[in-house]
């Protein structure tokens, strides 16, 4: 397992994980209720991460 340094990278990795869970649910490999619960948990984790800094704020 690799260590993810920035909040933006964590957000991207979590979005990828959520998409993978949805794909598994659509393929019938995961119970839809379980997939929804996992997606909700991922959404809450992403919401708890610090907001990415805007490029315009740095300028």
What are the pLDDT digits (tens) for 1-59? 677 788 889 999 999 999 999 999 999 999 999 999 999 999 999 999 888 775 445 55
Query: Rounded to two decimals, what is the model's pTM?
Result: 0.74
Domain boundaries, the chain: 13-46
Residue 33 vs residues 16, 21, 30: alpha-carbon distances, Å: 19, 11, 9
What is the rounded average pLDDT for all residues in the chain? 86
3-state secondary structure 4-36: CCCHHHHHHHHHHHHHHHHHHHHCCCCCHHHHH
Do 53 and 36 contact (CB within 8 A), yes or no? Answer: no
pLDDT > 70 fraction of the chain, expressed in percent and rounded:
86
Torsion of CA 31, 36, 40, 42, to 10 degrees: 50
């Amino acid at each position: 397992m690799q260590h993810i340094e920035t909040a933006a990278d964590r957000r991207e990795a979590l979005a990828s994980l959520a998409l993978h869970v949805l794909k598994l649910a659509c393929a019938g490999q995961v119970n839809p209720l379980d997939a929804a619960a996992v997606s909700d948990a991922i959404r809450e984790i992403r919401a708890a991460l610090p907001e990415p800094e805007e490029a315009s704020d740095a300028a």
